């Protein structure tokens, strides 16, 4: 690895850490789609409203702001923006991030979370 490659790798890692991303390595979108199907699709939909809110466009959206879904007051008032770092924290324990929220499901595996977030980022 040449000097410029090492510099680029260091800058990429620094940018990822500064953004609050736990992993410098990108997630696997295909595996993330599988995680979504296995863990999320029972409640969440992509387009429309289900038992949980619509996840299309979730990355970058304000928490509690998807049209047509009746969120808990605590989530609406949380001020969270669904950045990759906030989604990662949320998926580790929603009740720890916003006590009193309705979501109870979590994803304890860091690789699954990274892949799921990569997939969610593709949804527009």
Give residue-wise pLDDT tens across range 17-61: 434 444 458 999 999 999 999 999 999 999 988 999 999 999 999
Question: 24-120: which CATH topology?
Answer: Cytochrome Bc1 Complex; Chain D, domain 2 (1.10.760)
Give residue-wise pLDDT tens across range 1-13: 444 333 333 333 3
Q: What is the CA radius of gyration of the chain?
A: 16
Average pLDDT over residues 96-108: 95
Contact in structure between 121 and 59 (CB atoms under 8 Å): yes
Which range, of 10-14, 69-73, 82-86, averages the lowest pLDDT? 10-14
Can you tell me the distance from the alpha carbon of 104 to that of 61, in angstroms, rounded to the nearest whole number? Answer: 20
Is residue 44 within a helix (H) or strand (E), and if so which, with residue range? none
Cα angle 71, 52, 99 (rounded to 5 degrees) comes to 50
Can you tell me the distance from the alpha carbon of 51 to that of 105, in angstroms, rounded to the nearest whole number? Answer: 13
SS3 74: helix
Domain map (residue ranges) of the chain: 24-120
Does pTM surpass 0.85? Answer: no
């Amino acid at each position: 690895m040449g000097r410029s490659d090492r510099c680029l790798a260091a800058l990429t890692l620094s940018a990822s850490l500064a953004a609050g991303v736990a992993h410098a390595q990108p997630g696997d979108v295909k595996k993330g789609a599988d995680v979504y199907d296995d863990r999320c699709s029972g409640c969440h939909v992509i387009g429309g409203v289900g038992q949980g809110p619509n996840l299309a466009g979730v990355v970058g959206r304000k928490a509690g702001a998807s049209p047509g879904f009746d969120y808990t007051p605590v989530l609406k008032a949380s001020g969270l923006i669904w950045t990759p770092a906030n989604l990662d924290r949320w998926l580790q324990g929603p009740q720890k991030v916003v006590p009193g929220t309705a979501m109870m499901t979590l994803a304890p595996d860091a690789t699954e979370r990274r892949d799921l977030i990569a997939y969610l980022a593709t949804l527009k």
